[in-house]
Amino acid sequence: MQRNPTLTASPSARRSPLAIAAALVGVLLLFAVIAFIAGLAIGGAGGGPFAQADASTPTVAVPSGASTPAPTPALETITCAEPNEAFAAFCEAYAQIRAGYVDDVSDEQLLDGAVRGMVEYGLPDPYSGYLPPSQYGEALDSLSGEISGIGAEVGMKNLSDPADLESCTLVTDNCAMVVVSPLDGSPAEEAGLQAGDQIVAIDGESTSGESVSSLVYVVRGEAGTDVTLTVSRDGEEMDITITRAVIDLEEVRSEMLDDGVGYVRLTSFTERANDMIRDAISGLLDDGATKFVLDLRGNPGGFIDAARGIGSEFIPTDELLFTVESGEDVQEWRAVDGLLQSDDVPVVVLVDGGSASASEIVAAALQEHGRATLVGEPTFGKNTVQQWNDLPNGGGLRLTTDRWFTPDHNSVAPDGVQPDVVVAAPDDPTSDADPQLDRALELLAG
């Protein structure tokens, strides 16, 4: 991993009161269970992406020699009666459209286009996005109803220079929309969608020229309906038709394995995942577990407070888990009480290219504290935090507000967390063989 102390953004403690306080560290989850239904964010069906990210306040530390950051200034009021220099061209373009465009066009249409353009073309960030009022309202409404989708997550990838993700705000020949991971038992997995697949078309329409955010509602639809994704895999294109379904997100699965090994699999960092992990660990300890495997493969991330809670189960109280940073303003997130904080309980963490963001927070913290051995393949490589904000027109703005760093102040972007023991997954994803878990059990056996 590369040390990169300059990648920073604003902390939640100083954000606009319009913000919906949902600090997210998940990959841009366009095809996830909650992502498709509840606004491109990870969250449990009970709380969703608009739930409070964390009720407590993390320690705020300002680096030595730095002054205390000033409060966020009020936004300058810009009107087309007296535009500032930067917005003069915008106001003039608006005036000319209203005065001379051949067809009728509403202010609402122009506003949607302007905001979308400002976010998708103006911000060098594929994870920021805009939802117009109709879609944002659907996202809010879906929080109280059933959720449906295809059950997979995607992110943007620069094919020629993975480190330069900022230039990939739209899908192009060089900037691909890539599947991070299908969820366990999801329609996407059952249809054969795989991590690493590049989505080149949806129902025959090319994805080129679109932002990943704008493609969400092309794929979203009612349970029982089909969507066909054209994917590029190993240089070959193929069509995969997936039947959308109501999906029951099973965040945590656990079981006792031979020789006192407790196995815990976490599929996403929802707001309820921490309690579920703790219950699973407690049950395995009661069953006699003396060592543990934490399986984060295919886990795309989720809420930032869930990452702290789950990391705290393994790392001693008050040890640094990660920092969330904006310029010289640094929030330190430290471990709280946990069940497996003693070094007397060996731990192996399984990771792969579908382990992203919150998964990378936990994996990197356990690795850098010497608390666990990482087995598998390099992780996805995302270290940004997103937050939703209401807009006066009823739409929603998802904005990248911060970047997080490991305890040793490493950035996982773009190379991901490197495993201590590299073990490739089987070439056939449908195979029952699991060489990564087998290696983990070998390590725990000594």
Mean pLDDT value across residues 140-152: 62
- State yes or no: pLDDT of 5 exceeds 60: no
- State yes or no: pLDDT of 57 exceeds 50: no
Handedness of CA 403, 409, 410, 412 (dihedral sign): negative
Residue 427: per-residue pLDDT = 79
CB 230 within 8 A of CB 237: yes
CB 263 within 8 A of CB 254: yes
Per-residue model confidence as pLDDT tens digits over 184-203: 788 999 999 998 899 999 99
Mean pLDDT value across residues 41-57: 27
Name the average pLDDT for the chain. Answer: 80
Per-residue model confidence as pLDDT tens digits over 256-276: 999 999 999 998 898 889 999
Confidence of residue 66 (pLDDT cuts 50, 70, 90): very low
pTM: 0.72
Residue 79: per-residue pLDDT = 65
Which architecture does CATH list for 146-246? Roll (2.30)
- State yes or no: pLDDT of 13 exceeds 90: no
Residue 147: per-residue pLDDT = 63
Q: Which of 213, 355, 357, 411 is catalytic?
A: 357
Gyration radius of the chain over CA positions? 22
- State yes or no: pLDDT of 210 exceeds 90: no
368 belongs to the catalytic site: yes
Residue 28: per-residue pLDDT = 42
- State yes or no: pLDDT of 148 exceeds 90: no
Per-residue model confidence as pLDDT tens digits over 330-385: 999 999 999 999 999 999 999 999 899 999 999 999 999 999 999 999 999 999 99
| Angle at alpha carbon of residue 411, lines to 125 and 316, rounded to 5° | 130
Residue 11: per-residue pLDDT = 30
Confidence of residue 136 (pLDDT cuts 50, 70, 90): confident
- State yes or no: pLDDT of 61 exceeds 50: no
Q: Which of 181, 368, 377, 411 is catalytic?
A: 368
CB 294 within 8 A of CB 346: no
- Whether residue 414 is preceded by a cis peptide bond, meaning omega within 30 degrees of 0, is yes
**Tokens matching residue 223:** 């349970």
Per-residue model confidence as pLDDT tens digits over 155-174: 788 999 888 877 888 899 99
Cα separation values, 241 from 80, 204, 269, 430, Å: 48, 11, 28, 18
431 belongs to the catalytic site: no
- State yes or no: pLDDT of 204 exceeds 80: yes
Distance CA 38, CA 268 (A): 15
Q: Where exactly are the structural domains of the chain?
A: 11-63+79-145+248-446, 146-246
**Tokens matching residue 323:** 């920092």
Per-residue model confidence as pLDDT tens digits over 383-429: 999 888 899 888 899 899 999 999 999 999 999 999 999 999 987 76
What does the longest C-alpha to C-alpha distance in the chain come to? 78
SS (H, E, C) 146-182: CCEECCEEEEEEECCCCCCHHHCCCCCCCEEEEEEEE
- State yes or no: pLDDT of 114 exceeds 80: yes
Taking residue 194's Cβ as centre, other Cβ atoms within 10 Å add up to 17
157 belongs to the catalytic site: no
**CATH code of the domain made up of 11-63+79-145+248-446:** 3.90.226.10
